[in-house]
Amino acid sequence: MTDRRITAAVLDGLLEALDSAPVECDGMCRLVATRLARAGIPYQGMLGQLLVAGRAVSPHYWIEVGLFRIDYRARMWLGSDPEIPHGVFPLDGRPSAQYTGIRVQIDPLLPSVYEILIMPPFGISPPEAR
């Protein structure tokens, strides 16, 4: 897949089902990295801090793909206010959210570990999460 075809809608369609996985930001990034690698989409793992409306979470992990940031776990720590980023959004599309961090390597998971991590509580895995 080339960078020209990578849109927020494509990324969200590929990744949205992962949101139900019972993992924190580091586990979510491993799941996202696995999905992106399987789709042949280059990505960059990030580690740092997210600051929104005077509230911060650190350490925090997220993924960047081209002009987009992927963060499905900011609301886990900072609440569900609409100003808290969630999902796939442009790198410069959330002026109220300040991400600062460093590049880190986030490797895709082995298939067996991926399957374990996407299982919701009680071991029932919805087919759309795969």
60-70 tens-digit pLDDT? 999 999 999 99
Give me the half-sphere count of Cα atoms (radius 13 Å) on the Cβ side of residue 32.
Answer: 33
| DSSP secondary structure code for residue 72 in this structure | S
What span, in angstroms and rounded, lies between the C-alpha atoms of 23 and 36? 17
User: Which phi and psi angles does 69 have, rounded to 5°?
Assistant: -110, 140
> In which region does residue 54 sit, left (phi positive, over 0), alpha (psi from -120 to 50) or beta (all else)?
left
The pTM (predicted TM-score) of the whole model is: 0.87
What's the pLDDT tens digit per position in 46-85?
Answer: 999 999 989 999 999 999 999 999 999 999 999 999 999 9
- Region label for 62, one of left (φ > 0), alpha (ψ between -120 and 50) or beta (otherwise): beta
On whether the CB atoms of residues 29 and 127 are closer than 8 A, the answer is no
